[in-house]
């Protein structure tokens, strides 16, 4: 029976390998920065949409209550109230962010 070490050896980076890894590192950094910027823009857009949904959704309450649709479809009306509450929470920072851009 042999007692040979069977773990693979990891090659060390020489100077040539380190120099060739630099462009890859820069590309990875640019990709990460672009991804972060895209996520930030998407989050701000979603926050703005939630803000305006929270601001305008109450305009649907009066006609819904006046026509009796809320009594006919109480689950749908409760759903609208839940969506409004979620929009209030998600869009609460929209106006405060306007001055920081």
Domain count, the chain: 1
Cα separation, 11 vs 23, in Å, equals 20
N- to C-terminal Cα separation, the chain: 70
Residue 20 belongs to domain spanning: 15-100
Residues 6+ apart with CB under 8 A from 90: 46, 47, 50
The percentage of residues in the chain with a pLDDT greater than 70, rounded to a whole number, is: 74
Q: What is the DSSP letter of 52?
A: H
**84 lies in a domain?**
yes
Quick one: angle between helices 15-56 and 74-90, nearest 10? 130
The mean pLDDT of the chain is: 83
Indicate if the pLDDT at residue 100 is higher than 60. no
Lowest mean pLDDT: which of 77-81, 83-87, 93-97?
A: 93-97
Q: Measure the CA dihedral 69/70/73/74, to 10°.
A: -170
Q: Which pLDDT belongs to residue 61? A: 87
Q: Which pLDDT belongs to residue 21? A: 76
Per residue in 2-48, pLDDT tens? 556 566 565 555 555 556 778 888 888 899 999 999 999 999 999 99
């Amino acid at each position: 029976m042999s007692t040979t070490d069977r773990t693979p050896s990891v090659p060390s980076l020489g100077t040539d390998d380190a120099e060739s890894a630099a462009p890859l590192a820069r590309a990875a950094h640019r990709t990460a920065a672009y991804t972060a910027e895209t996520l930030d823009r998407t989050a701000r857009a979603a926050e703005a949409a939630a803000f305006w949904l929270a601001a305008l959704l109450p305009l649907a309450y009066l006609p819904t209550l006046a026509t009796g649709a809320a009594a006919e479809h109480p689950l749908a009306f409760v759903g609208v109230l839940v969506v409004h509450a979620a929009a209030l929470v998600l869009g609460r920072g929209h106006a405060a962010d306007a001055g920081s851009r």
